[in-house]
Structure 1
Amino acid sequence: MTVVRTARPGELPALVEHPGDPERNAATRAYLAGLLDDGCTRPEWCLVAEGPGGRPVGSAVLWTLPGQEVPLAVVLFEAPGDAPETGVALLDAAVARAAGLGAGELEHVVDSPAQAPQFQRDPERRYEMLRRAGFRPVRDGRRFGIGVTEEILAALPEDDPRLTFRSLADLGPEPFVALLEDLLADTADARLAADVRQHGARRAAELLFEDTAGLKHEPEWWEIGFDTDGTPAVISLPAENPSVAVIGFVGVAPAHRGKGYATSVVVRGTRVLAANGATEIRGDCDAANRAMARAFARAGYRNFAARLEFGRTTTDARTEAS
């Protein structure tokens, strides 16, 4: 039987060390140290599976946004390549720990190709462990990134003269939630469409606004772009997560799609973040949302990874780590 327990103080922030892989070890140590410093995790949220002599051979760390008390996701999930049952035990324990902290669901994302800081190698093996632990795919995403330099900023398309932008500081939240409700009623994003089916478009819009508001931002950054006819056409919610600036959420109202506004709103968010000190910006979209993928590419972003998102409810949590 696999023994899963809370990591001991002397095992943090290293957790699982891979002999002969100093790049991976340094990156994951720094990543977990940053999560602990930022309040995105706690020592008691760091679980390990024991190997010979009690040494950690697998790990699963619960993650949340800074300042929040309820876990949202599992990060730094690792298990020995020849012991998938260890990975399943770790995931079950993480779900149980999250359930005890009030989480109703938990997610985990797998990026391909593998990269720092989590180095999620052998994705097919990871998919199988996640499925065996009750996680199900909820979104097939694509990740985009851009480095902010003077040359990059100079190459960005000009702001769209058809759009007049007004900020959250000026408008207040209600127009933003109303526009999100309109967008979500006809969305190509699988996760957001599932939220609409579960909660209805209005509540899904409120949840999206609240979740994005959990990221660091200023009210002046968040904007609605109004078309020349005075109607709301685009929404831009740029922000910063604990490690990098992000486009956050951008979208085009159904009545204004097909006008090229998707690129315009990505460019707008990029300029806002760059003006506030971002040196790297990331964004993502559902693989099915080809219009948004084209918008990122036209704004100079590079598709650097695919991201398969998994989720599991915690209502059937079966075990707990000591």
Structure 2
Amino acid sequence: MTIVRPARPDELPALVEHSGDTERNAATRAYLTQLLDSACTRPEWCLVAEDDDGRLTGSVVLWTIPGHDVPLAVVLFEAPADSPETATALLDAAAATARELGATELEHVVDSPAQAPQFQRNPERRGELLRTAGYEAVRDGRRFSLRNPGESGDLPADDARLTFRSLAELGPEPFVTVLAELLADTADARLAADVRQHGARRAAELLFEETAELKHEAEWWELGYDADGTVAVISLPAENPSVPVIGFVGVAPAHRGKGYATSVVIRGTRVLAAAGATEIRGDCDAANLAMARAFERAGYVNFADRLEFARPL
């Protein structure tokens, strides 16, 4: 019989340890320590599965943005390969805890290939377990990374065709207006679903508010204007609790086909590099080929694919 319970203090931050897998053990232990220190989780959100002999066989941790009290996602989800029942019990317990705290949906991402800090090996099986527990895939994404941006002084220059003005100068309204225009025909599956549910304007407001939860300076967020005076691009670089990110970037429909997608990725990269970033990450929907090419042209490497899952509560 499997029992799911909050981890005891002496079980944190290690949770489940795997013999002979020191890289995984060290990385996940350090990750959970970081989550606890940054208030992305808390001890009572760290759940473990225990067998009849009192051995820990699996774990799941609830995650949120620092400063929030409502969980948004599950991380560090692991269960024995031969026990789908344990996996379901862990995911159901996490969902029940999150629901009691006011959550209406939980997310989980599956990266391939498996890597630190979560080491999500056998992504196909993980996807099956998530679907059995009521999750569905909502986005097929591509992840990109650029290490040591501008270290050798070879970071591309800004596009001379664009003139940038910041959030500090303009205020939020022009940014939300541009986001609404972009979301009306977005290639991103998750954002398109938000538009269907809320309409383009409200989806834009929610995107702006959600991105604003990440650490950023008002001077970092910019609109780029073409020579004709109209908005061509939007750039919202930020820092999540783990790493600086390009955040949201986009090119206005009237200005597509001019190479501005690469230009706006470079702009966000330069902003974060100037703020001291040693690694920058970004992502896009697999269907957004133009943005994937833009990341690559700006020097980024596609280091993983990411399936995003969601479970309504």
1:193 and 2:192 correspond: yes
TM alignment of 1:243-262, pairs within 5 A: 243-262=242-261
Q: Which has the higher contact order (CA 8 A, sep 6+)?
A: 1
TM-score by length of 2: 0.98
Secondary structure of the residue aligned to 2:186 is: coil
Q: How many residues align?
A: 313
The 2-side partners of 1:153 and 1:211 are apart by 33
Return the letter of the residue paired with 1:169: A
**Please, which runs of 5 or more residues in structure 2 have no aligned partner?**
none
**Please, which runs of 5 or more residues in structure 1 have no aligned partner?**
315-322
Partner of 1:276: 275
Structure 1 residue 162 displacement after superposition: 1.2
Return the letter of the residue paired with 2:277: A
TM alignment of 1:133-172, pairs within 5 A: 133-151=133-151, 153-154=153-154, 156-172=155-171
Structure 1 residue 3 displacement after superposition: 1.2
The 1-side partners of 2:230 and 2:55 are apart by 61
What's the C-alpha RMSD, in Å, of the aligned pairs?
1.0
Misfit runs of 4+, over 3 Å: 149-153
Secondary structure of the residue aligned to 1:293 is: helix
The 2-side partners of 1:29 and 1:9 are apart by 14
Partner of 1:205: 204
TM alignment of 1:1-322, pairs within 5 A: 1-151=1-151, 153-154=153-154, 156-314=155-313
Aligned residues of 2:262 and 2:298 also touching (Cα < 8 A): yes
Deviations 1:170-215 (A, max 9, x none): 0000000010000000100000000000010011001100110010
Structure 1 residue 88 displacement after superposition: 1.1
Partner of 1:319: none
Secondary structure of the residue aligned to 1:230 is: coil
Identity %: 79
The 2-side partners of 1:69 and 1:5 are apart by 20
TM-score by length of 1: 0.96
Structure 1 residue 256 displacement after superposition: 1.0
The 1-side partners of 2:29 and 2:206 are apart by 33
Deviations 1:208-231 (A, max 9, x none): 001100100000000000111111
Return the letter of the residue paired with 1:263: T
Structure 1 residue 2 displacement after superposition: 2.4
Shift of the 182–149 alpha-carbon distance from structure 1 to 2, 3 Å rule, reads closer
Deviations 1:104-156 (A, max 9, x none): 111000000000000000111101100000000000000000012545651x3
